Amino acid sequence: MIITSPTSVVLSVLLLSTACSTSQPSPPGIQKPRFWSVPLRRRTSLRGSGDDFSSWAMNHRDMLRTKYGGSLDKRDSGTNLITNQNSDSSYFGSLAIGTPPVSFDVILDTGSADLWVAGKDCARGCEGVSSTFDASSSSTFANQSTAFSITYGSGDASGTLGQDVVQMAGFSVPNQVFAVCDQVSEGMLDEPVSGLLGLAFQKIASSGASPFWETLAAAGAWDEPLMAFQLSRFMNDSSASDLEPGGSFTLGSVNTSLYTGDIDYINIPSGTGTYWILPLTGLTVQGNSVSLPSGSGSYAAIDTGTTLVGGPSAEIASLFAQIPGSAPGSGNFEGYYTYPCDTDVTVTLSFGGKTWTISPADFRLSQVDARSALCVGAFFEISTGGSSPAWIIGDTFLKNVYSVFRYSPPSVGFAQLSAAALGQNGVDAAPPVATIGSVAASALATSTGSSRAANSAVNSQQPMFSHVRVIALMYTFWMFVML
């Protein structure tokens, strides 16, 4: 089933008219007031509150259904089995690109919105990457010849944009825009990973293109307009292999075997629809509360592509102040804190009225060194700047819940993991084989985008861990662009 929309032309014109503006990141240390608000230059008409966005999404869907025969009766859902790489460092799934389809392992990243894979001619950062995209061997590839570049918390990638059939978990988008990258930061791609699938909203796509998931959700291709994650834990399993079963990524429904009780959905704040943002409403450590600023000062991006949890330095300092024997790290541990390994640290996070507990096993990132009695905590200082949220809530938290990213109404939901889900933690097994599923539903992207002026990094303090290959910070820097 293929759905298309007449809005692509309008969007393309809007994009072209702004394509030559230049990116002006905030100077280091200077944050814009209301830095999380909508950009000065808007890409789409998705302005206004979450409710507005929700009704826009509904109308858009209904309009498409009416215009194209009124029927998207073929809806579906599908699951992609995830691989857990390097003891919870990153979680990747598989998709296929081109005709004939070639499969690629990609980091699943709810903290950015672009799809890219390393190209056959990748010149930097692709050593050891065995699977690269060869445009000449896909009969459906269309080169857009537009430069692409994106900066993440942990590195960058650049190349050119193209368009091709992309398939995943039984869904297909025949005209998905993605980047074929030839320059990638060292350490970003760790075999067998070839690229990254952004699962946040189009508004923060550096390509300007509709993300794979958003095209499917907007077209009504899913049984339910949401996607869900269950992420496994191998961090505290000393016998874990580099690749272990990582849990599951379900598109178009939830898997009721993987959680118990209700899913607690919290709407993303009005005017966002960029990252999957939730206000962090509470933080405790060992039962004591850490005070948080109200409102947008405590906005948090819920990010499967970030390994740990990053927060503002004041709150991170208050958190560790509750742990006797803790101290700020130095050298390679700048931005981190150490604490006595024999302390079991229990941190809880609240979103809305509900509180979720992080296992002490996830808080204990690693020993400082093999003989040390000190451990490094999984919460670190980050100064996101730009228009990124103050907190980046990554897998340290997400391993402890079933998480649902809902398109309409735009919200993030959490539920308690079931015994079946928890039972997968630390169970060594062969990682899943790449599957794409037979295509059950397909939707055409309605906007093909155009690369924005290149994003460039702001002053994030990116504490980089050379000891542990554990730090993937795959949230994209999304900048104000001055006209």
Ligand X SMILES: *[C@@H]1O[C@H](CO)[C@@H](O)[C@H](O)[C@H]1NC(C)=O
Instruction: Name the site residues for ligand X (rule: CB under 6 A).
Output: 79, 119, 135, 143, 145, 160, 162, 180, 236-237, 255, 257-258, 359, 361, 420, 426
Q: Which is nearer to ligand X, 4 or 183 (CB)?
A: 183
Q: Which is nearer to ligand X, 187 or 426 (CB)?
A: 426
Q: Which is nearer to ligand X, 420 or 482 (CB)?
A: 420
Q: d(Cα 381, Cα 135) in Å, to the nearest integer? A: 41
User: Hey, what are 288's tokens?
Assistant: 């004591």
Kindly state the smallest distance separating residue 293's Cβ from ligand X, in Å.
30
Residue 179 β-bridge partners: 116, 161
Kindly state the smallest distance separating residue 330's Cβ from ligand X, in Å.
28
Q: Which is nearer to ligand X, 36 or 249 (CB)?
A: 249
Q: d(Cα 276, Cα 483) in Å, to the nearest integer? A: 26
Q: Which one of the listed residues 76, 105, 264, 303 is annotated catalytic? A: 303
CA-CA-CA-CA dihedral for 213, 214, 220, 222, to nearest 10: 20
User: Hey, what are 409's tokens?
Assistant: 């109404």
Kindly state the smallest distance separating residue 254's Cβ from ligand X, in Å.
9
C-alpha angle 142-147-149 in degrees, rounded to nearest 5? 120
CA-CA-CA-CA dihedral for 119, 123, 124, 125, to nearest 10: 40
3-state secondary structure at position 70: coil
Q: d(Cα 24, Cα 303) in Å, to the nearest integer? A: 25
Amino acid at 332: N
Q: d(Cα 205, Cα 451) in Å, to the nearest integer? A: 9
3-state secondary structure at position 251: strand
User: Annotated catalytic, 109?
Assistant: yes
> Is the CA virtual torsion 101, 241, 232, 118 positive or negative?
negative
Q: Which is nearer to ligand X, 29 or 287 (CB)?
A: 287
Kindly state the smallest distance separating residue 11's Cβ from ligand X, in Å.
22
Length of the chain: 483
User: Hey, what are 160's tokens?
Assistant: 């050119």
Kindly state the smallest distance separating residue 452's Cβ from ligand X, in Å.
18
Q: Which is nearer to ligand X, 43 or 399 (CB)?
A: 399
Kindly state the smallest distance separating residue 258's Cβ from ligand X, in Å.
5
Residue 376 β-bridge partners: 338, 366
Specify the long-range contacts of residues 104-107, CB closer than 8 Å, at least 24 apart.
104/131, 104/133, 104/194, 104/195, 105/131, 105/192, 105/193, 105/194, 105/434, 106/193, 106/194, 106/195, 106/196, 106/197, 107/193, 107/195, 107/196, 107/197, 107/305, 107/472, 107/474
Q: d(Cα 33, Cα 248) in Å, to the nearest integer? A: 38
Burial grade of 106 (CB within 10 A; 0-12, 13-18, 19 or more) = buried
Q: Please report, for residues 25, 153, 356, 424, 452, the alpha-carbon distance to residue 379 in angstroms, rounded to integers and kept in the order given.
A: 26, 15, 16, 25, 32
Q: Which is nearer to ligand X, 208 or 386 (CB)?
A: 208
The secondary element (H helix, E strand) that includes residue 360 is helix 360-363
Q: Which is nearer to ligand X, 74 or 120 (CB)?
A: 120
Kindly state the smallest distance separating residue 234's Cβ from ligand X, in Å.
9
Q: Which one of the listed residues 109, 182, 362, 395 is annotated catalytic? A: 109
Catalytic residues, by residue number, are 109, 303
